Amino acid sequence: MGNILEIKNVSMRFGGLQALHDVSMTVEEGSIAGLIGPNGAGKTTLFNIISGFLTPTSGEVIFEGKPVHGLPPYRLTEIGINRTFQNIRLLQEMTVLQNVQLGYHCRTRTGLFDALGRTSLFKQEEETTRRQALELLDFVGIAQYKDELAKNLSYGLQRKLEIARAIATGAKLLLLDEPSAGMNPAEKDGLAALVRAINDQLGRTVLLIEHDMRLVMYLSQKITVLNQGEKIAEGDPAQIQSHPRVIEAYLGRSYKGGERSA
């Protein structure tokens, strides 16, 4: 398979701050890729550029062979890019099922007047999205909470719900921003299994920012490392674990085989 995403010489400046400098990377279609680096390395800035929340100062973002930098988030959702956030963004006063149905609505044909008039097409699409949402909730393992308000779920379950909603948009490229943040070890194991299933069973390409090195090394086929806004390394997990600049800048000099000492 070819590359679904290409970042070409992307730079981002905020006034006098150079957040990214000439960053290039690729994500192969059908893969799981990791993006790592210390706090302040520019990872979230790059995610915000890919997902349309920022327009780069210079450089290009190519998705499925076409430039997409500068497009707003809703347009990127329409063409197949969606994301989760470090800080969970759910509609807390809506049910679990309703949150996932909202993800599907970007693919429906009905509009405001159909909803107000409760047209037959509106009712048909509502039933379809309800069925699809239930299937997706079952896939991520939280179908039993379908009628709970999102705010009543535990932190780990809210993470799964946010991932389910992103999948529901039809995303071909799923951007996961620190998906294991705040999770205990058992929840992280469940998350790893879920990301694998999203990739293997649903065929979605995944790019994740992650601070848990054991998790990112286990999941990713290729890892890109940023430090102070620049790419310092790229390769498979074995190459990244042994890369001297990565060890010094991020993993710590005593990192070996997935462990890091203080």
Backbone angles phi, psi at 232, to 5 degrees: -110, -15
Which helix (H) or strand (E) segment holds residue 83: the answer is strand 81-83
Q: Exposed, middle or buried: residue 134 (CB in 10 Å: 0-12, 13-18, 19+)? A: middle
Residue 117: count other Cβ atoms within 10 Å of its Cβ.
11
SS3 at position 3: strand
Q: Write the pLDDT tens digit of every residue in 134-187.
A: 999 999 999 999 999 999 998 889 999 999 999 999 999 999 999 998 888 999
Residue 246: predicted pLDDT = 87
CATH assignment of 3-251?
3.40.50.300
Residue 115: predicted pLDDT = 55
Residue 49: predicted pLDDT = 97
* DSSP count for the chain of H helices, then E strands: 10, 10
Backbone angles phi, psi at 67, to 5 degrees: -70, 135
Write down the pTM of the prediction: 0.85
H helix runs in 30-119, sequence order: 43-50, 73-79, 96-104, 112-117
Q: Can you tell me the distance from the alpha carbon of 7 to that of 9, in angstroms, rounded to the nearest whole number? A: 7
Where are the domains positioned within the chain? 3-251
Encode the chain (262 residues) as per-residue pLDDT tens digits. 799 999 999 999 998 899 999 999 999 999 999 999 988 899 999 999 999 999 999 999 999 999 999 999 999 999 999 999 877 878 788 899 999 988 876 665 555 545 555 666 656 667 778 888 999 999 999 999 999 999 999 888 999 999 999 999 999 999 999 999 888 899 999 999 999 999 999 999 999 999 898 999 999 999 999 999 999 999 999 999 888 888 887 655 444 444 443 2
Q: Are residues 4 and 65 in contact, defined by beta-carbon separation less than 8 angstroms? A: no
DSSP state of 144: G
Sequence-separated (6 or more) residues with CB below 8 Å from residue 29:
1, 2, 3, 4, 205
